[in-house]
Chain A
Amino acid sequence: MTDSEKIVITVESDLEDLVPEFIEHKRENAEEILGCLQKGDYEKITMFGHRMKGAGAGYGFDFITEMGKVIEQGGKDRNDEQIKKSVDDLVAYLGRVEVVYE
């Protein structure tokens, strides 16, 4: 799998109107986390991670739940490198994801 390949995610059609907003939120979250990282606000980073963890798979995005866990732990550990890497992975994932509604 190369970076340019799409990742196809199937989501229930009744969530169709929610998903684009959800993905957009995650992009914003990624920016916010990087902002927090500059300010050293790890508490907020932990919170963002926790929310991602609790929401991702509910929408069908297990990867986002996984990233949420790593970011939450990174925030707790104040591990800048881990946080930054996870955010990069998240942004890359969001760029490649293609949602199919069924």
Chain B
Amino acid sequence: MELLEFLDSNTLDNLSKDIADKFNLFISKHYDIPFTIVDRDGKKIISSSEKKWGGFNLSDSVRNDLDSGKQYALEKKNGSIYELIIGLRVDGSNKGFLSCEIDFSDKTFLQFSGHSEESTKETMVEMIVAYVSRCCAFFEEQENLKKCETRVKHSENALDVLRDHHQEIAVENIRQQEELENKNVQLQEKQAQLEDYGRNLEKKVKERTKELLKQKERAEEADKLKSQLLANMSHEIRTPLNVIIGFVDLVLSDELSDNHRNYLEKVKRNGALLLALINDILDLSKIEANQVKVEKIPVDLENLCEEIYSNMNTLILQKGKNIEVRKNFCPETKNYILTDPVRLQQVITNLIGNAVKFTDTGFIELGTSLPKGDHLLFHVKDSGIGIPDDKQDMVFQTFQQADMSTTRKYGGTGLGLAISRKLVELMGGKMWLESKEGEGTVFYFTHPLKVHSSPALLKQGNAKKETPEKEVLEEGVVKERRILIAEDSPDNQLLAERILTKYGYEVFLANDGREAVKFFKEKRAKIDLILMDIQMPNMGGLEATGIIRDMEEKKNLRKIPIIALTANAMKEDMEKYLAGGCDDFVAKPINRKLLLSTIKNYLK
């Protein structure tokens, strides 16, 4: 600032020009561009091509000055001649430096001041440095511009790169598209293949299904054959067994020694057990082969229960046991329910049979209740020996009783409960038990409560037993019962006649179905029951039965009991006879006791 005070502006301008002359041309160039700084006389000061920072012979003091951040250093050379070294700085760091010798005794400089040599020198140096700095700032700017250009150039390059990249992407896109198309083709091929597999599979499934169906049919056929075989076999076993039991019965009705009676009763008891076992096996095998179909017909449940209750009394009397017999029916029992009366009775009778078997004192109760709205709950309760906890599940299994000794002591086939439970399930219910050893057992089973409101539609099952009784009442006289035997075999005619007349029945004979129908047509009032052989010449028993039932319907006659006599004892046959209008059946060859008891059922 001092300098400005004593230098007029003109002088300053001239000075600047002087210095500028010295440096201008060269310094305006970029440092990277080779330059040489020369003095006023054209004497070379420094050339950038030497590219020396250190190559330049700087004294230690100058170097230190510059390295420690000072912008310039001044070194005395000779007398008033000094070397001025200025760092050329860009971004605060030295990129190079320039040097020039300045003779401070030079009149040019001294002219400015009039002051001492020393103060002129400082001012001068400052001015030069300031100028160089300005130049450097300019260079720096230039440099930045250049960088910009470079950046632009780079950007252009980047654009090129982008363009290239874009192209690459486009190429890649095309490649990917092609790949996709390829994949699509492959996919379509695979799909076609799949469809082919699908069609094949469908074909194979169809073939396999057909095969399975064939196998199923074969299995069903085999099952049917098995059932048929069992049915036949049981018939084959039953026939001689019935003869044995029948004969033993006859012998027992004669006078016998106690010893013989005892033996024969054993024969009879075991024969009966064997017969029951055969019947049970037949029953069970049919249930297991799904051949048992339960009926759903309206049944007067109270009537059925009362009948079973009455039979229960008889059974206990027969066994000579002192047991109280109880009944406990809920109000719903008065309904007509849809059920299979034969099967329902079979189940309850089996449970009662068990109860009687295992109870010596106390009571047995048959009862019903309605814990849930849609199922009746039946129970058979006894105060018998009970079943131990660990044996309770076992009793429902085939051929299982709670104890092997049970069979020896109490008898039974061990099939009854298994059959009963399956029948209950077939009828839509469940069966279980509660028992405490030494206190008694309760068997429970449920049955769907489907009430039938129109008793008028009742099947003969409930009505049949009323027929003879009503007849007695209406006609007002109890008369000798008369039976028409329709039978083509003279031997069986004679045999049946002999048996029946011996028991007080009056007997008429018909040699075939035609004669039976004729007899019925003309002398309906003379007979109370017909024994109808099924297989007869001219007209068979089923055909004759059908005609008789038609006539009854047309003339509104009461139905006459017809009992089928048949040598075909398979259940399917029996069902056929019942469906054809017969009320019951007796197998041939004739078992006299069975024949008499069956007839008695209808002619009370």
- Contacts A14-B502, A54-B589 known; A25 to B247 CB distance under 8 Å? no
- Contacts A15-B498, A47-B537, A65-B239 known; A58 to B490 CB distance under 8 Å? no
Q: With a CB–CB cut-off of 8 A, which chain B residues contact A57?
A: 239-240, 243, 589
- The answer, among A10, A22, A47, A54, for a CB contact under 8 Å with B247, is A10
- Decide if B567 touches A53 in the complex (CB within 8 Å): yes
- Decide if A22 touches B494 in the complex (CB within 8 Å): yes
Tell me, rounded to whole Å, the shortest Cβ–Cβ distance linking A17 to chain B: 9
| Range of interface residues on A (Cβ < 8 Å) | 20 to 34
| Range of interface residues on B (Cβ < 8 Å) | 20 to 34
Is A18 among interface residues, defined by CB-CB distance under 8 A? yes
Q: With a CB–CB cut-off of 8 A, which chain B residues contact A81?
A: none
- Decide if A18 touches B488 in the complex (CB within 8 Å): no
- Decide if A51 touches B502 in the complex (CB within 8 Å): no
Contact with A along B506-534 (1 / 0, CB 8 A): 00000000000000000000000000010
- Decide if A54 touches B492 in the complex (CB within 8 Å): yes
- Decide if B492 touches A55 in the complex (CB within 8 Å): yes
Q: Which of A42-89 contact B (CB under 8 A)?
A: 47, 50-51, 53-60, 62, 65
Is A21 among interface residues, defined by CB-CB distance under 8 A? yes
What is the CA–CA distance of A18 and B502 in the complex, to the nearest angstrom?
A: 14
Is A5 among interface residues, defined by CB-CB distance under 8 A? no
Is B590 among interface residues, defined by CB-CB distance under 8 A? yes
What is the CA–CA distance of A58 and B591 in the complex, to the nearest angstrom?
A: 7
Q: Which of B374-403 contact A (CB under 8 A)?
A: none
What is the CA–CA distance of A60 and B242 in the complex, to the nearest angstrom?
A: 11
Is A3 among interface residues, defined by CB-CB distance under 8 A? no
Q: With a CB–CB cut-off of 8 A, which chain B residues contact A10?
A: 247
- Decide if A59 touches B239 in the complex (CB within 8 Å): no
- Contacts A51-B488, A51-B492, A55-B589 known; A62 to B240 CB distance under 8 Å? yes
- Decide if A62 touches B243 in the complex (CB within 8 Å): yes
Q: With a CB–CB cut-off of 8 A, which chain B residues contact A55?
A: 489, 491-492, 495, 588-589
What is the CA–CA distance of A62 and B239 in the complex, to the nearest angstrom?
A: 9
Q: With a CB–CB cut-off of 8 A, which chain A residues contact B247?
A: 10, 12, 60
Q: Which of B537-573 contact A (CB under 8 A)?
A: 537, 565, 567
- Decide if B495 touches A51 in the complex (CB within 8 Å): no
Tell me, rounded to whole Å, the shortest Cβ–Cβ distance linking A44 to chain B: 9
- Contacts A14-B502, A47-B537, A65-B239 known; A56 to B589 CB distance under 8 Å? yes
- Decide if A59 touches B490 in the complex (CB within 8 Å): no
Q: Which of B580-604 contact A (CB under 8 A)?
A: 588-591
Q: With a CB–CB cut-off of 8 A, which chain B residues contact A65?
A: 239, 589
Best-surrounded residue of A14, A54, A60 (most CB of chain B within 10 A): A54
Is B251 among interface residues, defined by CB-CB distance under 8 A? yes
What is the CA–CA distance of A71 and B30 in the complex, to the nearest angstrom?
A: 140
- Contacts A50-B567, A65-B239, A65-B589 known; A15 to B495 CB distance under 8 Å? yes
The residue of chain B having its C-beta at the shortest distance from the C-beta of A51 within the complex is B489
- Decide if A22 touches B243 in the complex (CB within 8 Å): no
Tell me, rounded to whole Å, the shortest Cβ–Cβ distance linking B303 to chain A: 35
- Contacts A54-B567, A55-B492, A58-B590 known; A12 to B243 CB distance under 8 Å? no
Q: With a CB–CB cut-off of 8 A, which chain A residues contact B489?
A: 51, 54-55
Q: With a CB–CB cut-off of 8 A, which chain B residues contact A25?
A: 490-491
Q: With a CB–CB cut-off of 8 A, which chain A residues contact B41?
A: none
- The answer, among B240, B491, B502, B591, for a CB contact under 8 Å with A59, is B491
- Decide if A54 touches B588 in the complex (CB within 8 Å): yes
What is the CA–CA distance of A57 and B246 in the complex, to the nearest angstrom?
A: 11
**Nearest 5 Cβ contacts at the A-B interface:** A57-B589, A55-B491, A58-B589, A51-B489, A58-B590
Q: List 29 A-B contacts (CB under 8 A).
A: A10-B247, A12-B250, A15-B498, A18-B495, A21-B494, A22-B491, A22-B494, A25-B491, A47-B488, A54-B489, A54-B492, A54-B565, A54-B567, A54-B588, A54-B589, A55-B491, A55-B492, A55-B495, A55-B588, A57-B240, A57-B589, A58-B492, A58-B495, A58-B588, A58-B590, A58-B591, A59-B491, A59-B589, A65-B589
Given known contacts A55-B588, A57-B240, A58-B589, what 4 new A-B pairs fall within 8 Å (CB)? Answer: A51-B491, A54-B489, A55-B589, A62-B239
Please list the residues of chain A having a beta carbon within 8 angstroms of any beta carbon in chain B: 10, 12, 14-15, 18, 21-22, 25, 47, 50-51, 53-60, 62, 65, 102
